[in-house]
Chains A and B, each alone.
Chain A
């Protein structure tokens, strides 16, 4: 076994630059002290390699690795998990570079670098990551080539790398589309638990929605397959609250068992759409009021709320059908939806008593009319309700509130008046992305409204906010607030160029997520069906996979052969010489590309003296043909004869 050649300073330099390219996407995602520490260490190494200084002594490497581990622990409070683990991985990769002495170490480093590049998708899977991974792969391939052939030309090796990657691209695409995917992943990325803002299904406080009103982050995106409904009909249904404890509305444990007790009668044409829900770490899913079908892996509760079987921890795509107008027919009178605390809010109860004289339907209309004429105002910053009877305080004193105030007090009022009522939270409206032809619904679009139960119609939506501030429903939050309220950029209604740029970027990301990141087993199957292939496990599929791969390989092979043919005007002595080199390479030794025929022949004769006569004769003939006066038939025939003998001669050593 021979010792592997030592890496030159130039190769160390190249490896270091490769390491920098590979770790940069990771470091940008960490954005911590660690992201400064590691580049500084790598740049020091770069400087030392540039100065042709030797490697650091081992004790230094240990010290640096220890320091790095300490920084990681200090920053992430752990050495495991997604971020901590990745940080440790890439710092170990860098310190492996520090102790790489030989070409063998360099090869290991190349493989590690490929792994590190793969792990960068644990941070994020956006197109930028894809581009940086491609750059990383190009750098790694080039570096690998420089390690194996240090004396080659940089430029021509770069060209080779680009050509190789371009050739690999169709194969990668084919495998991406056709390689069988598991219906559910074998393991999940340990998501870093972040406090995600958004709606809660536990309790609805006064202020729990208005605090979202300035949040421009995206809750979900929706794409309609037909023409989209009007904006004021876009009520995206989320958690339902049915219990009032005197101050807050509480969400009941969703009743999945009795979901069949009610039946829904759609009264309008159905709307089909697809929702891409951002992860919110809870179970509820959104649907346009009111869903007719439910997506796979989800169930619907008796309150018309769609629940996923697991918490939504990753971006989820699902398709739904909803009806915008409906009638529900229930088996029983929902008496539990009249629940109110024993005492409290006397003025509200008193007013409700006056309503009880009317039939139920008129009670609702009268209360709405009362709100409309009551000088109520819609505001983001309502005064704090301090008294015990907060509903009284709001309805009769402050009269300023956000949607949850109106919804909450209206539902209490209805229950007090003997009309079953509950609160629905969710989102209302949405912003159309012209580029991608879909709607973006932000946290700021969070909304709360009321459903009342009427004997002949079932549950029907009543939105008191629409009475107070019609602009909120018709054109969005920005229009409904007094002008001068400071809003984040994406919530402002006038369109600046920056906003339109961000919308276009959003469209790009949306397409990327839908077609690349979320391309799963189901979508694969859909695509296959469209290509008339019934299933993954079928001969048609195997045919197209194997056939496609072999077709690509055939093209690659054919292009190489064709190129070779085109490059050399092949004459017979060259063919014979190539054959000669092949035979010798197989039997005893290979020709160096820069070796002339005579030198090669001498080397060959030294290693294989028994065949010396034939080798000599062949080479003499070749020299005469190629470098002398030219080929003649007799010489060529003799060369071919020597070649035949050489091929038959056994090589023993």
Chain B
């Protein structure tokens, strides 16, 4: 294991002290960051979605902003506005909260589709265009969006094209009994967050992202990924299978996962670990039009490892 990998392992350990009993999930979130993807967290209010995002930003020393999405929010509230400045007699662009290294888009499905798409466009292009001038977003640029369960009142569900922009969706459920007891006994999470020192620097993160790309994926592994993706396209209950972008994403996250374990090659097991996170929210059920739950896990049971 290289020092860089060890540093990220320590990051994970630190995060584990904040979000208790969810190490798999944390590792997945970190893999998403390493694979330069965006993360969608789904869960009930109060299970620690915001804390997770905040802690991740702190550990990696990223500049962190949080935007609470509401139904009357406009794209300008996110991107920023151009204001006339009397002193310099010029229009000046005041960047909005989007211009940060780690953006927490809280309750993204409460905003109107217009605002949602402004954010999602920025996520894909890594730049925004306002009044004819293009503004580059900072590097790295990482969005963590949280979303309430779709059945709740006053939500605008994300269309499938926008769900596809999120590399990984994780579901943050209730903690188990032991973790919850520890939570009740321990100090306030907010205080702990503040006292959290950064473990890796943004520069190290960029290096790590570079290293992840070098992880070797053999022909046999690509066969397996293709078999999985092909299987999603044959499902009867699912409207559309995974896109090629999703397949590429799956490979990248699997690489990040392997890298986290200090390996320089991807194993089918890595793919299996990340597949539900990558695939489930992209497969909309034919019956309800809602993202599937558990379909990816069933697929893993069926598709043989070559």
Inter-chain contact A628/B302, CB cutoff 8 Å:
no
Inter-chain contact A594/B221, CB cutoff 8 Å:
no
Which of A275-283, A311-319, A596-604 lies at the binding interface?
A: A596-604
9 closest cross-chain pairs (CB), A and B:
A596-B268, A593-B304, A596-B269, A628-B265, A627-B218, A627-B265, A598-B269, A626-B220, A596-B305
Q: A residues 504-562 with Cβ under 8 Å of B? A: none
A593 touching B305 in the complex, CB below 8 Å, given contacts A598-B269, A623-B265, A627-B266: yes
B301 at the interface (CB under 8 A from A): yes
The 8 Å CB contact of A594, one of B217, B218, B264, B302, is B302
Inter-chain contact A627/B267, CB cutoff 8 Å:
yes
B88 at the interface (CB under 8 A from A): no
Binding site for B on A (CB under 8 A): 151-153, 593-599, 623-624, 626-630
A597 touching B267 in the complex, CB below 8 Å, given contacts A627-B218, A627-B221, A628-B218: yes
B residues near A626, Cβ cutoff 8 Å: 218, 220
B residues near A624, Cβ cutoff 8 Å: 265
Inter-chain contact A151/B267, CB cutoff 8 Å:
no
A596-B268, A628-B265 known, 11 other contacts, Cβ within 8 Å: A151-B302, A593-B304, A594-B303, A596-B272, A597-B267, A599-B272, A623-B265, A627-B216, A627-B218, A628-B264, A629-B216
Mask, B271-306, CB within 8 Å of A = 1, is: 010000000000000000000000000101111110
Interface size on B, as a range, is 20 to 34
A594 touching B265 in the complex, CB below 8 Å, given contacts A151-B298, A627-B218: no
CA–CA, A80 and B216, complex, Å:
73
For B231, the closest partner residue in chain A by CB is A153
B residues near A630, Cβ cutoff 8 Å: 218
Inter-chain contact A594/B269, CB cutoff 8 Å:
no
Inter-chain contact B302/A152, CB cutoff 8 Å:
yes
A residues near B266, Cβ cutoff 8 Å: 627
Shortest C-beta distance, B102 to chain A (Å), equals 32
A residues near B234, Cβ cutoff 8 Å: 153
CA–CA, A595 and B269, complex, Å:
8
Most chain B CB within 10 A, of A151, A152, A596, A623, is at A596
For A149, the closest partner residue in chain B by CB is B302
Q: B residues 220-250 with Cβ under 8 Å of A? A: 220-221, 234
* 13 A–B contacts from the bound complex (CB under 8 Å): A593-B305, A594-B305, A596-B267, A596-B272, A598-B267, A598-B269, A599-B272, A623-B267, A624-B265, A626-B220, A627-B218, A627-B220, A627-B265
Shortest C-beta distance, B265 to chain A (Å), equals 4
CA–CA, A626 and B268, complex, Å:
11
A595 touching B301 in the complex, CB below 8 Å, given contacts A623-B267, A626-B220, A627-B265: no
B residues near A597, Cβ cutoff 8 Å: 267-268, 305
For B272, the closest partner residue in chain A by CB is A596
For B220, the closest partner residue in chain A by CB is A626
Shortest C-beta distance, B225 to chain A (Å), equals 12
B residues near A627, Cβ cutoff 8 Å: 216-218, 220-221, 265-268
A628 touching B300 in the complex, CB below 8 Å, given contacts A153-B234, A596-B272, A623-B267: no
Most chain A CB within 10 A, of B217, B268, B298, is at B268
For B258, the closest partner residue in chain A by CB is A627
CA–CA, A156 and B217, complex, Å:
29
B residues near A151, Cβ cutoff 8 Å: 298, 301-302
Shortest C-beta distance, A56 to chain B (Å), equals 28
A residues near B217, Cβ cutoff 8 Å: 627
Shortest C-beta distance, B232 to chain A (Å), equals 12
CA–CA, A53 and B303, complex, Å:
30
